[in-house]
């Protein structure tokens, strides 16, 4: 929030909209009349659930208008930047933009806005780990981002990835490949049988798998062997990604997302020592990027 106001002081009279759509929730912000309004709605993943994503966006925009006590026809004229999970190409972005009533809108995946929110204008690295995951590094104002390709092909160390691996461990216990723990016993009891585990996994969405992440984090803190294995495995993925990006000693690493900070005890000491609080949130980043858009009908 502090980062947002520092970066936006010169356009404090502007009206702008920012949207950060993740795999679990979608957050909306409106700056209008010198005030900021925030609302939250359900997930808006443009790839796994495009219909649901559009509905969530429409609901959120309507809620912003209500919060600011302005008509939708006025809200629709404000520049908007939407950073959404699942926007993997321009076609998805264009289709969504055309379906929304916004006159001036830029839609991208949620990684760049997260980088802007976390780092502001400074160099450094970002580990964005919630339901999904991505990793980024900025050097001399140039960004490189890896990951973020979704649950099936990517999202290493994410909440969804942890949850899926936990259920795999439950099945491995059943097969006699690893010892049972309190966590695997709890999960088996939850589903009633291995058939129940398989049935759940067949239709579960990334957010459903990610729902088990808090239990894994808590169990690891209690020393559960399976939970510790999963957290160490995820931390190795984080470490590998940072080193692949070329992270150097002295570069800060901002942890974004609900799960990212929980990896700190499992990371190599040199990396853990450089973890830092992000300057702002991904939603702050969308507002900063929205402020750079030129409203329809105006010239830059």
Residue 85: count of CB within 10 angstroms of its CB: 30
- Kindly give the pairing relationship between strand 142-147 and strand 253-256: unpaired
Class of domain 123-278: alpha beta
User: Over the range 223-248, which residues count as b (16 or more CB within 10 Å of their CB) and which as e?
Assistant: ebbbbbbbbeebbbbbbebbeebebe
300 residues of the chain, pLDDT tens digit each: 444 444 554 445 689 999 998 777 899 999 998 899 999 988 767 777 778 888 889 999 999 999 999 999 999 999 999 998 878 888 889 988 999 999 999 999 889 999 999 998 899 999 999 999 999 999 998 999 999 888 888 899 999 999 999 999 999 999 999 999 999 999 999 999 999 999 999 999 888 999 999 999 999 999 999 999 999 999 999 999 999 999 999 999 999 989 999 999 999 999 999 999 999 999 999 999 999 997 654 544
- Would you say the CATH fold of 123-278 matches that of 2-115+281-290? yes
Q: What is the pTM of this model?
A: 0.84
Look at the block and give the residue holding tokens 């900021």: 36
Distance, CA of 258 to CA of 251 (rounded, Å): 22
CA distances for 271 relative to 125, 146, 255, angstroms: 11, 18, 12
The SS3 call for residue 67 is helix
pLDDT reported for residue 2: 46
Helix 50-68 and helix 90-99, axial crossing angle in degrees, nearest 10? 50
Distance, CA of 137 to CA of 139 (rounded, Å): 7
pLDDT reported for residue 41: 85
> CATH for 2-115+281-290, among 3.10.20.90, 3.40.50.10490, 3.30.420.40, 2.60.40.420?
3.30.420.40
- Domain regions of the chain by residue span: 2-115+281-290, 123-278
């Amino acid at each position: 929030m502090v980062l947002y106001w520092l970066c936006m002081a010169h356009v404090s009279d502007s009206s702008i909209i920012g949207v950060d759509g993740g795999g679990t929730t979608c957050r909306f912000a409106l700056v209008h009349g010198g005030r900021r309004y925030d609302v939250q709605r359900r997930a808006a993943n443009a790839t796994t659930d495009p219909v649901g994503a559009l509905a969530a966006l429409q609901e959120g925009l309507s809620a912003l208008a209500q919060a600011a006590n302005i008509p939708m026809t006025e809200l629709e004229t404000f520049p908007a930047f939407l950073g959404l999970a699942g926007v993997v190409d321009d076609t998805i972005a264009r289709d969504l933009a055309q379906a929304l009533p916004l006159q001036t809108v830029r839609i991208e995946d949620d990684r760049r806005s997260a980088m802007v929110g976390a780092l502001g204008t400074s160099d450094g690295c970002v580990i964005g780990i919630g339901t999904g995951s991505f990793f980024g590094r900025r050097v001399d104002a140039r960004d490189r981002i890896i990951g973020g390709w979704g649950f099936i092909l990517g999202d290493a160390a994410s909440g969804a990835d942890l949850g899926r691996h936990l259920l795999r461990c439950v099945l491995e216990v059943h097969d006699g490949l690893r010892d049972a723990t309190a966590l695997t016993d709890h999960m088996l009891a939850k589903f009633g049988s291995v058939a129940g585990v398989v049935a759940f996994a067949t239709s579960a969405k990334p957010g459903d798998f990610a729902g088990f992440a808090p239990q894994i984090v808590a169990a690891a803190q209690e020393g559960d062997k399976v939970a510790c294995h999963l957290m160490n495995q995820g931390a190795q993925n984080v470490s590998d990604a940072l080193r692949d990006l070329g992270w150097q000693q002295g570069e800060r690493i901002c942890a974004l997302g609900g799960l990212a900070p929980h990896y700190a005890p499992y990371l190599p000491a040199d990396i853990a020592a450089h973890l830092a609080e992000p300057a702002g949130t991904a939603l702050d980043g969308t507002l900063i990027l929205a402020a750079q858009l030129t409203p329809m009908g105006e010239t830059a």
